[in-house]
Structure 1
Amino acid sequence: MSVSDAKQKKSRRQRREFTREFKDGAVKLVLDEGKGIPEVARDLDLTESALRTWVERAKEARGEGKPGALRQEEREELARLRAENRQLRMERELLKKAAGLLREGDDVKFAFIHAQKAHFPIAFMCEQLEVSRSGYYAWAHRPQSARKTKDRELTEVVAAVHAESRRWYGSPRVFQELKARGYRVSRKRVARLMRQRGLRARARRRFVKTTDSAHSYPVAPNVLERDFSPQKPNSKWAGDITYIWTAEGWLYLAVVLDLFSRKVVGWAMSDTIDRHLVLSALTMALLNRPAPDLHHSDRGSQYASDDYRKLLEKQEIDCSMSRKGNCWDNAVVESFFSSLKMELVYERNFQTHEEARRALFEYIEAWYNRRRRHSSLGYVSPEEYERNASTPSAAA
């Protein structure tokens, strides 16, 4: 085999495939959330050309013609709506970064404006934070000590990192994020600045049992035995289901995690909790990754169903199930659900299933898998952890 043939074969092996649900989620971030194609492509590790193709096809399916086919008044209305959308996005982004500042004094607000002036217009920030421009400029020209100035600037960076984490990060993760961005700062200093600003990690809520194991299907023994640290990826997977409340009723989310990296390798959402939900999540996981040696879950009827067990058998995957009433046997997935609820679900009042679907897709694919720092992984994201493990130096 020639070198070029080998490269082509390697390229074909590495080509990713995507489920319809994944494509729909990516498209909705562009068309419904108003995000730009480059931003979404970067967050989801996609090529811009592929995402643009999906978006154009979705527009055609929705009956949205090309801009040139619109009448003049329609083009003007579209331009107006886009301008309003940009303004709303800017306001939402600013308020997200400035969470809690409206209750602070003017000096704190001025410090925030000074740190963010490269990203937002000063007049716009002064209006949103209810301070005067003249007051800001007077503050900006007031001499301060070098240490106080550095603390002020660093506090805004700390606050921005905390906001980006959906206010979940405490000082250890904020410190690790700053270190990764090239800041030379101690963890104690980060903790002090967060304490002075009133920034803290949210406390977890207690676990609530949701599994229905009252069924007649056979159950598998607990083969995993809480071995949550396999030495390689695609060795041991774990799955479970959780519930998200919306004004339209419950939305159910099933996930499959690779225990090596804690990465969500498969997921599915539905307003019906049945075996098709968990089958869809497992099918997504198998789409781009080799089958694992072991799959662990609770004793729920969905995982014990004939169809699910047959799929595992077809892929030559051994089945493992938690002991009755013991959530700790599947602690890694429970921990993921806890983070999901604390960082997203408890902060939002979803009005529709569609709104919840978009938010969950973005959380899993753009935030948790690719950006969120995981303490058990040495404060790197699941994606980065797998990438580091696959390098020659890591394998040596």
Structure 2
Amino acid sequence: MSKPYPKEFRDDVVRVARNRGPDVDLEQIAKDFGIHFTTLYSWLKKADIEDGKRPGSTVTDAAELRAAQRRIRTLEQENEVLPGGGVFRSSASAGKMSYPLVRELAADGIPVTVTCRVVKIARQPYYRCLANPVTDAEWAQAHLADALFDAHRDDPEFGYRFLADEARDAGLVFADRTAWRICSENGWWSVFGKKRRGKKTKVGAPAHDDLVRRDFTGPAPNQLWLTDLTEHQTREGKLYLCAIKDVWSNRIVGYSMSDRMESQIAVDALESAVARRGRKVAGCRLHSDRGSQFRSRKLQQTLWRHHMLGSMGQVGSAGDNAAMESFFSLLQKNVLNRQTWDTREQLRIAIITWIERTYHRRRRQTTLGRLTPIEYEIIMTQAADQVA
């Protein structure tokens, strides 16, 4: 089964095909981007349907139909739970909106999610209760927490000691330290209490160690990827590009472009690279600078999900990512600085066309034995298959 193409790549190919010159046919564009002609024709057909230029069911219509079907099934299940429904009416626990009811309906085929939503209880406490039944101590503490909360709601200016006195008047026996612990865990402080100072923002993810040490070589594919961000001005505003290069063949295996420099652009570029390389990326090192986009929690979670390793150069040291800087230098001279760009769309088409048509398939590189990145990958892959 062929690997899927990232959505951003498909959209860019459609843009190039729609904006082609009169002397350029679709077969030539398909060849330049390394896809089959029928694949390109299919993408154009789907794009015309989405834009209303051709009759057919759009992706939105299909998604709405599936959502409606799921909603109908959910309503049918909720009808079984609600009073008057078959399961609820025949249940021995009818009228008890509690965990035993949820467990009984789950045994009859009603999903726990549906029952909890109808009877308005949370799923997490239900599952915790199944795993660890409530002890007598927890039951007593829950009653104490309720009493402290009621006292705090009635008199929010009271500190934990006054709240403890109110709870004792209700007949509960406990120590002041217990009341402090419960109030501290739930944030039930006096409105006149001292304001806490400190940062209001979350602490960013720590930087990775430099696992590359300026050794920009890779003996095999998907062992070392380099990434960086660049930007260029158009009359509409700036366009930001995040690209990922495999040092084994110097091929740009993933990219993402956006009008905003946020962490999502780095995440999208990484997901695009993983999709195009067939998801065989476990253990691959992703080397970057220490920009906030690469230190974001979203990107760290994406690396962890794909079992990849992060690597970062030193602050203000461009040489620690020189191999990626060289690619952006080529892009700057060959595309970005060639003319004044009116729109982001125009610049986007120029960038993706240069990468896929020129850099990947026409520009020969000395480090690859005067081969293009695509030629190098084909030859080396065939050689590895013959050895195996």
Q: TM-score, normalised by structure 1?
A: 0.57
Contact (CA 8 Å) 1:266, 1:284: kept in 2 or not?
yes
Structure 2: runs of 5 or more not aligned: 56-202
Question: Secondary structure of 1:391's partner?
Answer: helix
Q: Could you say which residue in structure 2 is the equivalent of 1:356?
A: 347
Q: Is 1:36 matched up with 2:31?
A: no
Counterpart in the other structure of 2:49: 60
Q: Tell me which residue corresponds to 2:272.
A: 284
Equivalent-residue separation in structure 1 for 2:204 and 2:15 (angstroms): 40
- Structure 1 letter corresponding to 2:256: A
1:387 and 1:353 map into 2 onto residues whose CA distance is: 33
**Counterpart Cα distance in 2 of 1:361 and 1:349:** 17
Contact 1:234 1:258 in 2 (8 A): yes
Q: Deviations over 1:43-95 (max 9, x none)?
A: 111111111111122223333359xxxxxxxxxxxxxxxxxxxxxxxxxxxxx
**Residues 234-280 of structure 1: per-residue CA shift (max 9 Å, x gap):** 11111100011111111000011101111000000000001100000
In structure 2, how many angstroms separate the alpha carbons of the residues matched to 1:274 and 1:380?
A: 35
- 1:16 Cα shift? 2.8
Partner of 1:27: 14
Asked whether the 8 Å contact 1:388–1:394 carries over to 2, the reply is no
Tell me the residue number matched to 1:371: 362
1:162-187 deviation per Cα after TM superposition (whole angstroms, max 9, x unaligned): xxxxxxxxxxxxxxxxxxxxxxxxxx
Q: Determine which of 9, 14, 17 is the counterpart of 2:4.
A: 17
The 8 Å contact of residues 228 and 259 in structure 1, kept in 2 or not, is answered as: yes
Q: Which of structures 1 and 2 has the larger relative contact order (alpha carbons within 8 angstroms, sep 6+)? A: 1
Matched, 1:48 2:31: no
Aligned counterparts, 1:213-224, within 5 A: 216-224=204-212
- State which structure, 1 or 2, has the greater radius of gyration over its C-alpha atoms: 2
Shift in Å, 1:41? 0.7
The answer on whether the counterparts of 1:217 and 1:301 sit within 8 Å (CA) in structure 2 is no
Identity %: 32
Is the helix fraction higher in 1 or 2?
Answer: 1
Aligned to 1:306: 297
Are residues 1:338 and 2:329 paired? yes
The corresponding residue for 1:296 is 287
Alignment-derived partner of residue 101 in structure 1: none
For 1:227, give the aligned amino acid: D
Preserved CA contact (<8 Å) 2:254 2:276: no
Q: Work out whether residues 247 and 351 of structure 1, in 8 Å CA contact, stay in contact via their aligned partners in 2.
A: yes
TM-score (norm. length: structure 2): 0.58
* CA distance in 1 between partners of 2:384 and 2:16 (Å): 37
Segments of structure 1 that go 5 or more residues without pairing to the other structure are 1-11, 67-214
CA distance in 1, matches of 2:384, 2:234: 47
Alpha-carbon RMSD:
1.8
Task: Count how many residue pairs are aligned between Structure 1 and Structure 2.
Answer: 235
| Counterpart contact for 2:6–2:276, Cα < 8 Å | no
Mapping of residues 1-396 of structure 1, within 5 Å: 12=1, 15-34=2-21, 35-64=24-53, 216-289=204-277, 290-291=280-281, 292-392=283-383
